Chain A
Amino acid sequence: MSVINFLSAGAIPLIIITIIFYGLKEKQKVFDIFLDGAKDGMEIVIGLFPTLLGIFLAIGLLRNSGILDFIINLISPITNLLKIPNQILPLAMLRPISGSASMGIAVDIMEKYGVDSLIGKITSTIMGSTETTFYTIAIYTACVKIKKIRFVLLAALLADLAGMITSVIICQIMA
């Protein structure tokens, strides 16, 4: 277990030092470049805020009205059978459709059940290991004006499902 902890804790510092080392070796002005990148980051975050606000409003309303719990209870027989914690259902359903919406839901879940709880970890793992499938397929096909996408949606959704089920199992094992 300590190897795993070391890997988790050490991965980020190791990557940072490798990158900076390479920058120095190739005589780059690393700090100036860092500032450039950070500036771009500001634009990303500012651009994200309005979407996040809108999604938080909608998800907050859904949760506070009580309808989210109602729907979760409705589907729980199926998820109990598959041993999926039903608190993550809204996330699983929205994850392939909208990146910012699923991020809003993920934060909502982690705030409610605790970020370091099993549900919080499963939520984090799902967010880290899946993509906004519909959006990705849409932009990649639209740029070359392709309409017939054959089996791509099916294969991508299968991958998402596998990622989600693995997230649930692996978090339970490593809890």
Chain B
Amino acid sequence: MLNIIWPIFIIIAIIYAFFTGNIENLSNGIFDSAKSAVELTLTFFGTICLWNGIMEIAKRTSLMKKLTKILQPLINFLFPDLNNNKQAKEEISMNMTANLLGLGNAATPLGLKAMKTMQKENMKKDTLTNAMAMFIVINTASLQIIPTNVIAIRSSLGSQSPSGIILQVWIATIVAAIVGITATKILMKRF
């Protein structure tokens, strides 16, 4: 996708600047953007390493298993078709737990594993099952307890309260998830 969007952005911007006489302004900004990329990466460096370190501890304790257990009723509600597929349910709940903890890198491989397990019982191999559809929609909803990246960006930009948006993020995420889940439950009966 970016192989198309990226060059289009650059070409449009430069042509537009030539026609509107903004070319000097545009030229001056080029190296500023390199500088901002470095600055952001440097601040990111600290926060992301820190959080990754803390979450690695969570991953190796029974905390993850406990959270997975707490999620069980929710998973039974979301995936009624998977009642006999214990393995898929376990992988799904581990994926959701990893997402909740902000362990994006651990969540994706677990999620892909769950997809493969569900595919084994799929009758139409080229079409998503209801459970798979629900699983993907939930993964696009970005449920997480701590929005690490956002907090990192905010602190790098000198915010007075980098974590001050946590509550807003929780509310927006929950609304998004409820809308996604409801839409999926309704749409899966028709399409």
Digit string of A14-38 for contact with B (CB within 8 Å is 1, else 0)? 0110111011011010100111111
B127 / chain A contacts, CB cutoff of 8 Å: 146-148, 150
Contact B147 A111 (CB under 8 A): no
Chain B CB within 8 A of A57 CB: yes
Task: Find out whether the CB atom of B126 lies under 8 angstroms from the CB atom of A162.
Answer: no
Contact of B184 among A144, A155, A163 (CB under 8 A): A155
Residues in B neighbouring A141, C-beta threshold 8 A: 115, 128, 136
The listed residue (B61, B116, B139, B157) touching A143 by CB distance below 8 A is: B116
Complex CA gap A6/B116 in Å reads 42
How many residues on chain B are close to A (CB under 8 Å)? 103
Task: Return the CB mask of B70-110 against A: 1 if under 8 Å, else 0.
Answer: 00000000000000000000000000000000000100100
Query: Given A116-B159, A116-B161, A124-B153, A107–B40 Cβ distance below 8 Å?
Result: yes
Interface size on A, as a range, is 35 or more
Question: A163–B175 contact, CB under 8 A?
Answer: yes
Identify which of B33, B63, B135, B137 contacts A159 (C-beta below 8 A): B137
B163 and A136 contacting across the interface, CB-CB below 8 Å: no
- Contacting residue for B133 out of A63, A144, A152, A166, CB 8 A: A152
Knowing A19-B63, A64-B17, A159-B179, say if A124 contacts B154 (CB, 8 Å).
yes
Chain A interface residues toward B at CB < 8 A:
4, 7-9, 11-12, 15-16, 18-20, 22-23, 25-26, 28, 30, 33-42, 44-45, 48-49, 52-67, 70, 97-98, 101, 103, 106-107, 110-111, 115-116, 120-121, 124-131, 133-134, 136-137, 139-141, 143-152, 154-156, 158-164, 166-167, 170-171, 174
